[in-house]
Amino acid sequence: MALHIHEAWILLFVLPGLVTPAAINHEDYPADEGDQTSSNDNLIFDDYRGKGCVDDSGFVYKLGERFFPGHSNCPCVCTEDGPVCDQPECPKIHPKCTKVEHNGCCPECKEVKNFCEYHGKNYKILEEFKPSPCEWCRCEPSNEVHCVVADCAVPECVNPVYEPEQCCPVCKNGPNCFAGTTIIPAGIEVKVDDCNICHCHNGDWWKPAQCSKRECQGKQSL
């Protein structure tokens, strides 16, 4: 009998150690208020519909308040139906505008091109210049260059020369023409050999000279 009593006391001391934390019912211990909040994934945001307007950065504007949403330069007014923004019909930018500002609702041209560019050089409005000996040009108010090319007359010689800074070729030795391979002056008869006398056509320098055969004056035999 004493043996059985001793074994019973041993069981009483061992059984409490067999109870694990998993056996505890958590429903009997309500969680803290902080733990309940952190476990809620459904965050509630304020609804500003009919009360105000929110811009891209999350800033709230009151009804009737003017503001600039995002990067827009055009103002908006907050209404119960949402932002009502200005959408003006902006004037067209001048095609020659070289400086445009975007500070206002519409872009504004601050500087218009007031010169002409021709072959890498700039010229003032109404400025006249000669890019080559045969060209005469002017910078027009439209910023475009208008040029006139000289129309040279046909030279009256077969050996014209181009002088520096001159547009058209010149006949330095006067009018002439070819008599065979010889160049003879115009206006006179030229004896080109012992048998032929030639002269140029009047005004027709490109034609060969007219020649007439005379009695040959060869060397007389001794």
* Interval 28-79: pLDDT, tens: 444 444 444 444 444 444 556 667 888 877 888 888 888 887 666 788 899 8
Q: What is the pLDDT of residues 85-129, one digit of tens each?
A: 877 788 888 777 878 887 778 888 887 778 898 999 999 999 999
Strand locations in 11-144, DSSP E?
A: 52-54, 60-62, 66-67, 76-79, 82-85, 97-101, 108-112, 115-118, 121-124, 128-129, 135-139
Sign of the torsion formed by the C-alpha atoms of 22, 26, 32 and 34: positive
Among 83, 76, 172, 96, smallest CA distance to 141 is for 96
pLDDT value, residue 48: 61
Q: What number of CA atoms fall less than 13 Å from residue 100's CA on the CB side?
A: 11
User: How is domain 115-149 classified at the CATH fold level?
Assistant: Complement Module; domain 1 (2.10.70)
Taking CA 83 as the corner, what is the angle to CA 81 and CA 84, rounded to the nearest 5 degrees? Answer: 95
Domain(s) labelled CATH 2.10.70 in the chain stretch across: 115-149
Q: What is the pLDDT of residues 9-23, one digit of tens each?
A: 444 444 444 444 444
- For residue 176, give the H/E element and its range: strand 176-179
pTM for this model (two decimals):
0.39
